[in-house]
Amino acid sequence: MDRESRHKWARHLVKLLLLLVVVVVLLLAWPEKVVTVRVVEVVRGPVEKVVTSIQAGEVRARRQAAIRASTIGRVSGIEVQKGDRVEKDQLLVELGNGTLRARLRLARANLEVGQSGLRSARLRLQASERALKRSRRLSSQGVLSQQALDRVQAERDLAAEAVKTAQANIDQLQAAVAVAAAALEETRIRAPFAGQVTALHVEVGEALVAGAPVLDLVDDSQVTLLAPVDEADAGILQTGFPVRVLCDAFAGRQLAGKLTWISPVVSRDVRQNRHLEVEVGFDGQRIPLKPGMSADIEVVVQKKEQVLWVPTNAIMRKGGNEQVFLVAGGRARLQTIQAGISNWERTEVIRGLAEGDRVIVSLEVRGLADGVKVRLGEWAPAGRVAW
């Protein structure tokens, strides 16, 4: 290599070294990127595993009935109005029943005649028995012939048969009275149970046929809640589990109930999605829910006290692994954990974290990665999120 080539090569080497120096200087002088994050402190506390309804359930009355007419007739009287509270067997609506009342009076009068006939037949039987007794005494003394005794015996037997006939007639007449009374009672529509009238479908003078709607009655002293849950949760639900009920009408308030019934079959909706119907009861307590309201439920299937937990939204799940970002030495550090029971808010940490560790909850921050330098926003101790 001649001198000119060596000089040219040396100049390129010097330029390369100068460029390298500039790059190093820039790297050393350039400020490292810092990401501002929100964190929570890992603490101990209660964690629940819950099953939630997949859509709002419906509050239903313990008992409700659409009361209909059981006979034909014209409405002659309405004793209640919409919204009235009624007692069991209270008269609600009455149909015209003059003919039926007359039939009942006739049946009762016939029964009185029959009872009078029965009393007469019994008196004749008593007289014939006394006569038979005297005749037998006289016959034993040889005063009365056998033919005369037989005639007295026949009269007594006829009197006894007349009593049986009169008694059978009484049974028929009593049945006729019962039929007439039942027919009359069908024109008097009474409350089958205590409750509140929610709808009235008739007016005075309106002609009804059997089966026509008259009114709706609801027993709102106790209500239940029917709600659908995912079929995947069927295996972990049991009656008696505590339930929290959340209703838009009482925002911020949770009502306590218990799981009282689990459907033995899985149902399908119009989209062919499968779900399981469950019913929530309230142990007879009066609650402010009204029939027809919608409400969501949270069934508590498991609860642990004083366990380590982190907010559920701080956990990342990748390939079967559960990871969180810790703040350690001013940097974000990816940490694999073992999670336990969880719900929408809290997840139990079995392994991988210690009490007092700070976990990043602002996973949406741009630039957040393992090893990145971080700056803490407002720090929330004792498990409270720093927003």
User: 216-255, pLDDT tens digit by residue?
Assistant: 999 888 888 999 999 888 889 999 999 999 988 888 788 8
- Give CA 59 to chain center in angstroms: 7
**pTM over cut 0.85:** no
Q: At 312, which amino acid appears?
A: T
Q: At 213, which amino acid appears?
A: P
CATH C-level class of 70-95+187-211: mainly beta
Query: Tokens for 147?
Result: 């033919």
Strands of 73-78's sheet in order across: 188-190, 91-95, 73-78, 207-208
Report the distance separating Cα 319 and Cα 341, nearest Å. Answer: 19
Report the distance separating Cα 4 and Cα 2, nearest Å. Answer: 6
Tokens 């469950």, located at residue = 278
CATH of domain 34-47+304-376: 2.40.420.20
CATH of 52-62+220-303, one of 3.40.50.1820, 2.40.50.140, 2.40.30.170, 1.10.10.10: 2.40.30.170
- Give CA 251 to chain center in angstroms: 20
Q: Comparing C-alpha atoms, which of 20, 51, 36 is closest to residue 378? A: 36
Domain map (residue ranges) of the chain: 34-47+304-376, 52-62+220-303, 70-95+187-211, 97-185
Give me the tens of pLDDT residue by residue for the chain, a chain 387 residues long. 556 666 666 676 767 777 776 555 555 555 567 888 899 999 999 999 999 898 899 999 888 899 999 999 999 999 999 999 999 999 999 999 888 899 999 999 999 999 999 899 899 989 888 988 888 888 888 788 888 878 888 988 898 999 999 999 999 999 999 999 999 999 999 999 999 999 999 999 999 999 999 999 998 888 889 999 998 888 899 999 999 999 888 887 888 999 999 999 888 776 767 889 999 998 877 788 888 899 999 999 999 999 999 999 999 988 888 999 999 888 999 999 999 999 889 999 999 999 999 999 989 888 888 888 888 876 554 444 433
3-state secondary structure of 1: coil
Asked if residues 296 and 246 have their Cβ atoms less than 8 Å apart, the reply is yes
